[in-house]
Structure 1
Amino acid sequence: MNTQFLVIAAVLVVVVMALVLYPVFKRQFVLGLALLLICAVSVGALYTQLGTSAALDARLVNQPRSLKDAIYQLETALAKDPAQAEGWALLAQTYRQDNQFVKSRDAFAKASALAPANVALLTDAAESRAMADPKHLFDADALALLDKALRLDADNERARWFMGVALRQQGKNAEAAEMWTPLLARVEPAAAEALLPQVNLARTAAGLPAIDMPERKTTAGTHAIDIALTINPALAKDPRWNADSAVFVIARVPNGPPMPVAARKLSLSELPASLRLTDADSPMPTAKLSGVEEVEVFARLSVDGSANRGENDVETAPQRVRLPSAVPLRLELGKP
């Protein structure tokens, strides 16, 4: 991603987290606020573990100091290079925070058009259409976006939530309940407790009996990923690196948010290494390995020691892993 977008993204972390937690805020404000605070603290903790003070140099003194500044900088950057899906998404999120919902809708439309297989962007684009509508209704275009997102990832929690809302708006209560019910066993317990009454309201409206909370399967401790990490000898001898150069091993949700569900930082001198990613490596308590069924895993050798991707960093190809997995994963930096 363009460096300018990365700088602006730092300003928008809280904005993005607030948007991700929107369904919880809508039903349980206090719970949503608590989760938001936990996420903010966790991001700080992640930076302490994986970040670098080199980022606080003079090159970043012109970072935006307000939403208006962020909007202006993003608009200026996108005018020069409009083929940036992530840039349009950041602009859309900033418009939303500034209550410019029509502009947010249009920016998300451009972002999703540039990345038509990105489930998160498709879902955001659908939500933005409802937020821009005076009655907050999901129109036909929004439904088409959600339908496409669910065809790409039938288990996507946000897409299922919003599709259920859209179906309820259309009076399709049985379909809405059916759309929401699988989430009860997947989302965090507190979120499931907030969702269950909505499921039963939809079922009652459809003339169906209420249901109890389904039994949750405990997966903590079974979703570990064993990794054998090596480096090509030729790359290890490259003068750009030294024994203290940072290596990051990252697991994140495919087509999901950029925040990892597990991450580990090593030094180059520790390679080759055998490691295990578990819930203990999850930087955010609301997003853990034990809460997902599939991740993509990759390793990054960083030029400047930053967890953010640099232009000259070296990465392994991401490998998808279905969880739980008993097969060790092999990653090689600089693989020919």
Structure 2
Amino acid sequence: MIEFWLAVGLLLLVGTAFLLVPVLRGRRAQAEEDRTALNVALYQERLAELQGQRDAGTLTVEQFDAGQAEAARELLADTEGAGNGRGQRLGKALPLLIALAIPGLAFGLYWHWGASQEIAALGERPSMEQMTARLQQAVTDNPDSAEAWYFLGRIQMGNGRPAEAAKAYEQAARLADRAPELLGQWAQALYFANDKQWNEQMQALTDEALQADPNETTSLGLLGIAAFEEQRFGDAVGFWQRLLAQMPEDDPARASIQIGIERAREQQQAAGEPVQKPVELVNKAMAVIKVSVDLAPELKAKVEPGDAVFVFARAASGPPMPLAVKRLTVADLPATVELSDKDAMMEQLKLSSFAQVQLAARISRSGVATQGEWIGRGQPIASSTREPQHLLIDSPEVAQ
């Protein structure tokens, strides 16, 4: 909607410039970018994750409040704004009256005969319900897309619908050859859907995930919670220590895991059980990849400035879901962004968790991250690389 009215304002300025050239000088105000639906979804899921950890007893009230504040700061950091416009003086009364009359008359005529309501509806920021509906339509249109099912599961968890999320993760796991990361997410959704009561299905899923990947973080965290609830405090410490070993040094979630370990040890001591000495952990360095993104010249006439651009990294060999994502618009190109562990779509899947990753940039007119019209892909690279990378969006995307 902002872009539309800016375009209208520019056209009106062109029309009135012939009257005001001798007396009018000004600058066009820049539009403030919309906060993206993807960041809102990530923010909502982070809050849901914090609430789950608080309910499980691994977060204190202070840790929970600090986590909420940190999530809000990250969301604000991803939202950029622009400065305000500057007022100008007009020299003569007659040109001023004409300049004011033309926009008012145009606005009134357009409001009466135009389609402003429809344009306004298109310009509104998508709500969580709208994003959910779009993703549901995406899996209807492309039911064999593990990525689309995965995003639907994420947003359903953020909406507080773990039972529906579990169904989406089940489909994603089936389509992605039962990737261990998805099995862990599936088990976690089932756990919350079952009022945090552990059962054989969750045990089977986490066992299968850890058999394929002994360091699968969601399963380790979930098994630690289940063991703590069943008063198997030694097992809880073991699972959480293994989880802690996978987390980078600066990961904010490390504090809550460490609190859970300390509480489990206190319970062991109270029960007279032997307490294992803390294990010295070797932490992974945070992965940071700088990538420049541009649009092929032959595509510039085929896109709109407001079309969404998703820059993301996937595991070269692993789950199909993005490990890190940044959102731009076509108007921002060319642009340079950094993808790092801080941009992880989920705490358990980070760039540093995989040896090789593949970069890609997708243009999506609908604003849905899983669907697009054009794409640019890079070759697999080491997740630890520090050399700048380049992506050129130059190919039509074929639905898979």
Given the two structures, how large is their TM-score scaled by the length of structure 1?
0.63
- Following TM superposition, by how much is the alpha carbon of 1:180 offset from its aligned partner in structure 2, in angstroms? 1.6
Deviation at 1:98, TM superposition (A): 6.5
By how many angstroms is 1:146 displaced?
A: 1.7
Secondary structure of the corresponding residue to residue 121 of structure 1: helix
1:299 Cα deviation after fit: 4.0
- Check conservation: 1:109, 1:125, Cα contact below 8 A: yes
| Partner Cα separation in structure 1 for residue 289 and residue 134 of structure 2 | 40
| SS of aligned partner of 1:21 | helix
Task: State how far apart, in whole Å, the 1-side matches of 2:152 and 2:66 are.
Answer: 26
Whether contact under 8 Å (1:8, 1:64) holds in the other structure is yes
Are the structure 2 counterparts of residues 81 and 158 from structure 1 closer, same or farther at C-alpha, using a change threshold of 3 Å?
same
1:36 is the counterpart of 2:68: yes
- Determine the C-alpha separation between the residues in 2 that align with 1:230 and 1:11: 23
Please, which of 116, 122, 127 is the counterpart of residue 59 of structure 1? 122
1:162 CA displacement = 0.6
Looking at structure 2, the residues matched to 247 and 131 of structure 1 have their Cα atoms a distance apart, in angstroms, of 34
**The one of 133, 154, 166 aligned to 2:214:** 154
More displaced stretch, 156-165 vs 32-41: 32-41
C-alpha separation in 1, matches of 2:173 and 2:285? 33
Structure 2 length normalisation: TM-score? 0.55
Residue of structure 1 in register with 2:265 after alignment: 200
1:236/1:117 CA distance change after superposition, 3 Å: farther
- In the alignment, does 2:379 pair up with 1:315? no
**C-alpha distance 216-247 of structure 1, shift in aligned 2 (>3 A):** same
CA distance in 1, matches of 2:150, 2:209: 16
Q: 1:143 and 1:249 mapped to 2: Cα distance?
A: 36
Counterpart for residue 260 of structure 1:
324
AA aligned to 2:64 is G
Do the aligned partners of 2:351 and 2:383 also contact (CA within 8 Å) in 1?
A: no
User: What residue is the counterpart of 1:143 in the other structure?
Assistant: 203
Structure number with higher relative contact order (C-alpha < 8 Å, ≥ 6 residues apart): 1
**1:76-109 CA distance string (max 9 Å, x none):** 7766765455555566566656766545544443
Deviation at 1:120, TM superposition (A): 4.3
CA positional deviation for 1:143: 1.8
Classify the secondary structure of the residue corresponding to 1:138.
Answer: coil
TM alignment of 1:232-271, pairs within 5 A: 235-240=296-301, 250-251=312-313, 255=319, 258=322, 260=324
Report the alpha carbon displacement of residue 258 of structure 1 after superposing the two structures with TM.
4.5
1:131 has 2:195 as partner: no
Letter in 2 for 1:109: E
Structure 2 residue identity aligned to 1:110? Q
Q: Structure 1 pair 23/305, CA: closer, same or farther in 2 (3 Å)?
A: closer
Amino acid in structure 2 at the alignment position of 1:182:
R
**Structure 2 contact 289–389 (Cα < 8 Å) conserved:** no
Letter in 2 for 1:46: D
**1:53 paired residue number:** none
Where does residue 48 of structure 1 map in the other structure? 80
Once residues 86 and 251 of structure 1 are traced to their aligned partners in structure 2, the CA distance between those partners, rounded to angstroms, is 13
Indicate which of 237, 241, 249 corresponds to 1:177.
237
Contact residue 298 and residue 316 of structure 1 kept, 8 A: yes
Deviates more, 1:258-267 or 1:174-183: 258-267
Q: Letter of the aligned partner of 1:260 in structure 2? A: A
- Aligned-pair CA distance for 1:161: 0.5
State the partner residue of 2:171: 110
Consecutive unaligned residues of structure 1, counting only runs of 5 or more, are 1-6, 50-55
Counterpart secondary structure, 1:292: helix
Q: Separation in 1 of the partners of 2:383 and 2:135? A: 37
Counterpart AA for 2:244: L
Which residue number in structure 1 is paired with residue 89 of structure 2? none
C-alpha distance in 1, partners of 2:334/2:231? 61
- Secondary structure in 2 matching 1:300: strand
User: SS of the counterpart of 1:298?
Assistant: strand
Aligned to 1:333: 392
Q: Secondary structure at the match of 2:80?
A: helix
The CA deviation at 1:316 is 0.9
CA displacement at 1:16 relative to structure 2: 1.7
Per mean C-alpha deviation after superposition, the further-off stretch among 312-321 and 158-167 is 312-321
* Contact 1:120–1:256, Cα closer than 8 Å, also in 2: no
Opposite residue 137 of structure 1, the aligned amino acid is Q
**Does the aligned pair in 2 maintain the 1:261–1:283 contact within 8 Å?**
yes
Larger Rg: 2
SS at match of 1:194: helix
Which residue of the other structure, out of 218, 226, 239, is the alignment partner of 1:166?
226
* In structure 2, distance between residues paired with 1:268 and 1:319: 23
Tell me how far apart the structure 2 counterparts of residues 78 and 261 of structure 1 sit (CA, whole Å).
20
How many pairs are equivalent?
Answer: 306
Question: Residue in 2 aligned with 1:296?
Answer: 357
Deviation of 1:64 (Å): 5.1
Give me the CA root mean square deviation: 5.1
Amino acid at match of 2:392: L
Q: Which amino acid aligns with 1:157?
A: T
Distance 2:161 2:373 in 1: 37
**Distance in 1 of aligned mates of 2:244 and 2:120:** 46
